[in-house]
């Protein structure tokens, strides 16, 4: 019971991390703006959020596999790519200490990854909206989940109800 609940919470947190970057892509001019802390979500919104989060996670997992494959296709390991990406973000010189061949592989892999991220942005938005929730509300729930015990408790309750619903469906004989 708790294992399922923890998996769902991980889904939500993963979605929160990814939506943070998705939100930045979707609202480039207002990247630094944090959503307002709203705590009065309807139960239907929370249910839609949970369902959308599961779909977003599936999309993201597929994208992560595609990104890892893109890195490997360019001749780098994921670890090497991540090290180079951190070096590039960390200093002015960035990856200048790497060989020209590694830099070229890194740049090609980076281009492929950016293309994958652009492609999944629309898929994520569509998956969220198909569950009857808009992007702004989705992001507000993520923010509230991270910053409000009230919302965290309400989501925990929705997750528990969904778990019980799924267990009841599994327990009923198929006709």
Phi then psi for 38, rounded to 5 degrees?
A: -105, 140
pLDDT at residue 26 above 90?
A: no
Using the 8-state DSSP alphabet, how is residue 39 labeled? -
CA distance readout (Å), 121 to 22, 27, 71, 98, 115? 6, 12, 20, 31, 10
What pLDDT score does 34 carry? 64
What pLDDT score does 22 carry? 44
Contact 22, 136 (CB under 8 A): no
Q: pLDDT (tens digit, 9 = 90+) per residue, 131-173?
A: 999 999 998 998 999 899 999 999 989 988 888 888 888 887 7
pLDDT at residue 99 above 50?
A: yes
Domain that holds residue 157: 2-171
Domains contained in the chain, number: 1
pLDDT at residue 97 above 90?
A: no
Smallest CA-to-CA distance from 121 within 33, 66, 29, 56 is with 56
**Predicted confidence band of residue 126 (pLDDT cuts 50, 70, 90):** very high
């Amino acid at each position: 019971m708790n294992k399922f609940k923890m998996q769902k919470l991980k889904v939500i947190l993963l979605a929160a991390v990814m939506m943070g970057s998705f939100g930045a892509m979707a609202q480039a001019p207002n990247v630094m703006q944090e959503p307002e802390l709203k705590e009065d979500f309807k139960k239907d919104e929370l249910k839609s959020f949970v369902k959308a989060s599961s779909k977003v996670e599936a999309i993201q997992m597929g994208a992560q596999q595609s990104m890892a494959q893109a890195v490997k296709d360019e001749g780098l390991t994921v670890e090497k790519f991540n090290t180079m990406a951190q070096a590039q973000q960390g200093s002015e010189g960035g990856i200048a200490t790497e060989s020209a061949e590694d830099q070229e592989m890194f740049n090609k892999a980076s281009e492929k990854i950016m293309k994958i991220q652009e492609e999944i942005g629309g898929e994520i938005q569509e998956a969220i909206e198909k569950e009857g929730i808009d992007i702004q509300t989705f992001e507000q729930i993520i923010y509230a989940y991270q910053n409000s015990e009230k919302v965290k408790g309400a989501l925990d309750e929705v997750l528990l109800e969904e778990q019980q619903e799924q267990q009841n469906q599994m327990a009923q004989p198929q006709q």
